[in-house]
Amino acid sequence: MSSPSAEASSSSRTRQPNRFSAKGKNVVMTSHGRLPWYSPEGKNIEAYVIGIAGGSASGKTSVARAILSALNYVPTVLILSQDSFYRKHTQEEIDLAFKSDLDLDHPDSIDTALFAKCLADLKQGRACEIPVYSFVHHQRMPETKYLYGANVIIVEGIMALQSADMRALYDLKVFVNCDSDLMLARRIKRDVKERGRDVDGILDQYLRFVKASYDNFVQPSSKHADIIVPGSSNQLAIDLLVSHIKDQLDNRSLRFRSRLGRDGQSRPLANGKTQVTPSNNTTHTFGDTDEDSGVILLEQTAQLQGIMTILRDCETERGDFIFYADRLSTMIVEKALSLLPHEPHRVQTPVGMSTEGTISMQEDLVGVSILRSGGPFSHGLRRVVRDVPLGAMLIQSDPKTGEPILLSLDLPQSVKNGETSKTVRALLLDSQMGTGAAAMMAIRVLLDHGVPESNIIFLAFLISRRGLTTIRRAFPSVQVVTAAIDPDLYEMHLPLGNAVLGEAAGEGDYSITVVEHDTLGLQRLNLKGDGGDSGFEAGSSLEGYRIDNQNPNQVIDSDRPDSGSGSGFGERRDAGQETWSPTKQQVEELKFSRDRKDSMKEVKQKRAWVVSPGMGHIGDRYYLA
Amino acid sequence: MSTPTISTHRPSLPDGAMVLPPTLQLQALLTIIRDEKTQRTSDRIIRLLVEEGLNHLPVVPKTVKTPVGADYEGVSFQGRICGVSIMRAGLRDCCRSATEQPPYLQILIQRDEETVQPKLFYAKLPDDISERYVLLLDPMLATGGSCMKAIEVLLSHGVKEERIIFLNLIAAPEGIHNVCSKFPKLRLITAWVDQGLDNHSYIIPGLGDFGDRYFL
């Protein structure tokens, strides 16, 4: 699956992890942002889970960290330590623990059920709250730690391979094997230095608990391991391990914005634009199809059309733009709130009469805006519901691939909490939906936190029919409230004006892709002699997602370099059932192993998916003078 | 003009009058402001009223170029407008949030204690008001006395009757009939039609004195 050039580039990578968060053994490494972790159908793709077991002080943590640093290009890697999952102790046990008489080396000291549940949640991409255990208090702390969004999870602990429930969740099981003497020597050194213990106490504990546990439980669990790594002088073993993991990850990587945009026929226009129109009839009006059933289009009154005309007009001044954008967002928010459930409510009026009315069930309402262009909407929402909790997510496009990247996440507390999120009603705010890629990512984030799909309402000034199709197909229960549905989605060449763009060039749903000028010709060449058919074999499938034989348009990227079809930018595509698949030059981009160094080098233009007639870049028009 | 869907318990309305669609959302908002414990939450309904009122202004076709270079066949607002509120300025602030350009003016009409008739105390209107569309704002429509007085003031300044749009939060059927029969060309938009009036000409169930509740 992996091409030699990709291997070469990934091994030459020098970027360091940006951030190690959390003290102690639980480590979250986040890089620049998170690429889609789900299929174009909106289903989560499981995280890659590695279980590392071995005796105490055998070197599990160093193996885990070595893997971590080798994977520094992967968006989010999480090391989950068994230490967090010690059971909640009784007062009696705590007293024992302070006298070093508590056996923490027995499998029963671990809350395996909770551990397996948390790991299963994380593996499925769901947000999770893990317990916090304090070795100072020898007790589980009342607070929990919120974890979300790991693409790779490394579980380490002496009992990591002990339970069958846990083993079932691992994609790779590693046992770190180390000589007992060496382990004891390291243990004494560590405990004296780091935990301030005396040698007698350490030896006593070792002979009573640690040794027995190792011989009876830990060592026998090595039979479940896929690979046994030595606990010292293990660089070669780690290299082998890492290269295996990289292969596995690359096979799962995702890339589908182009697919979302191109999932229809396109025709080149005279002015060098490529127009993509939906594969179904473009001239149909609202309400014709099933996909319109979940869409609430504002009544197209003269006033609304007047507002839309002002907003769409490229000559509208910023002051007017802000005024009418605020007004429109208020109207859309009012419409969305009318979708909330209402209950009867009786009140007494000041003239002394009792009257039957209704009450809107708004206690669980939250607003989450997709930055920046969703920003104007939060003003509108605040104008209508003054005390609604507001969250935000920053989703932008990777400049090289055009993929949406989740850069930052700030969710209301009620969404982060697994208990309360079940009843949350979320208004997801974005000014426009183009390919639908950013909307899909945002919806996926809410679903991962346990917000029911039918409780999500997506609000936008305007949406493209293509984006709507994508969202309706992936998330049929999500309601969409909008003022306009635009027919066209273009991919345009825009001059790359300012260098301020930084690493992420555009907003998620303005979908900007930067193309290096010289590679464009190469890609074109590569397309010659292409029969237009995708060359997929019936029933062939890739790890992580499946090709849908019924509907060839469902096929997303294939990693196979030989299946070249019309993928060139701006290239004419044959009508019908062609699918998009990458050419050889693009295979590299499909990898998790994104090479960032040269992504902005020699870039002369960027590519953008734009809704037409659209409103242009709403965030810029609203915020920039 | 067309009458929107009105739930069956409503009285029939004259041609010039219309009621906002009785959504559950609107009912919930009204429930809040009717509640004697509530203070100042009427802004949202007023905004809905203003938006509906603005819908009755004329538009002309206009084609604009969007930032992506496409042509969009839209419409442009026509005719200048002017907001006039009766007595306290309760509706004015909300009106401003829906449309920014027009001047907002007030007419003070109060009941003359001697004659028991509504009397004009204060009116300052722009010179060109006769060429404008006027959004006349009064939250409560009971018998319609002060509303009709305000309309007379506007007419005497040359405003055309068909260019007056009267916006109202809660109306009694009596008030609607009084206003619409006297000024058949005027458009009246209300959020809700209540049961009627009590012996003191208060709207029931109503919400009490709007001005007092909004400002005091």
B205/A349 touch (CB, cutoff 8 Å), yes or no: yes
CATH number for the domain harbouring residue A175: 3.40.50.300
How many Cβ atoms are within 10 Å of A81's Cβ, its own excluded?
Answer: 21
Query: Considering CB atoms only, which of A302, A359, A492 is closest to B59?
Result: A302
Residue B204 has pLDDT above 50, yes or no: yes
Residue A51 has pLDDT above 90, yes or no: yes
Query: Considering CB atoms only, which of A353, A357, A492 is closest to B31?
Result: A357
Nearest CA to A333 among A227, A421, A452, A458? A458
In this predicted structure, what is the pLDDT of residue A565? 34
Does A91 reach chain B within 8 Å, measured CB to CB?
no
Q: Residue A498 domain-assigned? A: no
For A60, residues 6+ apart whose C-beta sits below 8 A from its C-beta are A52, A53, A54, A156, A157, A158, A160, A176
Q: Residue A152 domain-assigned? A: yes
In this predicted structure, what is the pLDDT of residue A120? 92
Q: Is residue A362 located within the same domain as residue A283?
A: yes
Tokens 């309601």 -> residue: A479
In this predicted structure, what is the pLDDT of residue A428? 93
Q: Is residue A243 located within the same domain as residue A298?
A: no
Query: Considering CB atoms only, which of A323, A350, A360 is closest to B207?
Result: A350
Mean pLDDT of chain B: 77
CATH number for the domain harbouring residue A442: 3.40.50.2020
The CATH code that applies to domain B17-215 is: 3.40.50.2020
pTM to 2 decimal places? 0.72
Q: Is residue A379 located within the same domain as residue A328?
A: yes
B47/A330 touch (CB, cutoff 8 Å), yes or no: yes
In this predicted structure, what is the pLDDT of residue A455? 92
How many Cβ atoms are within 10 Å of A46's Cβ, its own excluded?
Answer: 17
Helical segments of A392-540, H only: 413-416, 437-448, 465-474, 517-527
Distance, CA of A462 to CA of A468 (rounded, Å): 10
In this predicted structure, what is the pLDDT of residue A287? 52
In this predicted structure, what is the pLDDT of residue A497? 45
Domain around A218: 4-31+46-252
Strand duo A76-81 + A27-30: pairing = antiparallel
What is the percent of chain B with per-residue pLDDT over 90, rounded to a whole number?
10
Q: Which of A167-181, A236-250, A283-297, A402-416 has the lowest mean pLDDT?
A: A283-297
Q: Where are the domains of chain B?
A: 17-215
Does A300 reach chain B within 8 Å, measured CB to CB?
no
Q: Is residue A248 located within the same domain as residue A283?
A: no
What is the percent of chain A with per-residue pLDDT over 90, rounded to a whole number?
12
Nearest CA to A311 among A332, A293, A294? A332
Chain B residue numbers touching A610 (CB-CB < 8 A):
68
Distance, CA of A535 to CA of A544 (rounded, Å): 20
Distance, CA of A117 to CA of A87 (rounded, Å): 14
Q: Residue A359 domain-assigned? A: yes
Domain count, chain A: 2
Q: Average pLDDT in the A406-430 region? A: 88
Of residues A137 and A368, the one with the higher pLDDT is A368
Q: Which of A33-42, A165-174, A416-425, B193-202 has the lowest mean pLDDT?
A: A33-42
Q: Contacts for B70-78 with beta carbons within 8 Å, 24 or more apart?
A: B70/A488, B70/A612, B70/A613, B70/A614, B71/A613, B72/A308, B72/A309, B72/A312, B72/A313, B72/A613, B74/A305, B74/A306, B74/A308, B74/A309, B74/A312, B74/A313, B75/A302, B75/A305, B75/A306, B75/A309, B76/A306, B76/A309, B77/A306
Of residues A562 and B91, the one with the higher pLDDT is B91
Q: Residue A8 domain-assigned? A: yes
In this predicted structure, what is the pLDDT of residue B212? 62
Q: Residue A395 domain-assigned? A: yes
Please give the C-alpha separations between residue A590 and each of A144, A255, A402, A582, A611, in angstroms, as whole numbers: 36, 6, 11, 8, 25
In this predicted structure, what is the pLDDT of residue A318? 85
Q: Residue A532 domain-assigned? A: no
Buried b (16+ CB within 10 A) or exposed e, A181-193: eebbebbbeebee
B25/A383 touch (CB, cutoff 8 Å), yes or no: no
Q: Which of A5-9, A84-88, A167-171 has the lowest mean pLDDT?
A: A5-9
B68/A308 touch (CB, cutoff 8 Å), yes or no: no
Nearest CA to A153 among A54, A81, A223? A81
Q: Which of A278-282, A574-578, B21-25 has the lowest mean pLDDT?
A: A574-578
The catalytic site residues of B sit at 111, 115, 209, 212
Mean pLDDT of chain A: 71
- What are the DSSP E strand ranges found in A415-570? 425-429, 432-433, 456-464, 479-486, 488-495, 506-507, 512-516
Does B174 reach chain A within 8 Å, measured CB to CB?
no
Residue A257 has pLDDT above 80, yes or no: no
* Helix A60-70 / helix A235-252 crossing angle, nearest 10 deg: 50
Q: Which of A57-71, A292-306, A309-323, A480-494 has the lowest mean pLDDT?
A: A480-494
What would the pLDDT profile of A582-596 be if each residue is shown by its tens digit? Answer: 333 333 333 333 344
Q: Within the 360-399 window of chain A, which residues sit less than 8 Å (CB to CB) from chain B?
A: 360, 383-384
Which H, E and C letters describe A306-347, residue by residue? Answer: HHHHHHHCCCCCHHHHHHHHHHHHHHHHHHHHCCCCEEEEEE
Among A191-195, A300-304, A610-614, B101-105, name the most confident range: A300-304
In this predicted structure, what is the pLDDT of residue B186? 92
Residue A52 has pLDDT above 90, yes or no: yes
- What are the DSSP E strand ranges found in A61-193? 76-81, 128-134, 139-147, 152-156, 172-177
Does B196 reach chain A within 8 Å, measured CB to CB?
no
Q: Average pLDDT in the A559-577 region? A: 34
Q: What are phi and psi of A494, to 5 degrees?
A: -115, 140
Q: Is residue A101 located within the same domain as residue A185?
A: yes
Q: What are phi and psi of A362, to 5 degrees?
A: -110, 0
**Distance of residue B48 Cα from the nearest chain A Cα, in angstroms:** 8
Q: Which of A2-16, A214-228, B79-93 has the lowest mean pLDDT?
A: A2-16
Domain final position from A252, A287, A313: A252
Query: Considering CB atoms only, which of A301, A353, A357 is closest to B28?
Result: A357
Q: Residue A385 domain-assigned? A: yes
Residue B98 has pLDDT above 90, yes or no: no
Query: Nearest chain B Cα to A386, which residue?
Result: B41
Residue A53 has pLDDT above 50, yes or no: yes
Q: Which of A120-134, A284-298, A383-397, B184-198 has the lowest mean pLDDT?
A: A284-298
In this predicted structure, what is the pLDDT of residue A50? 92
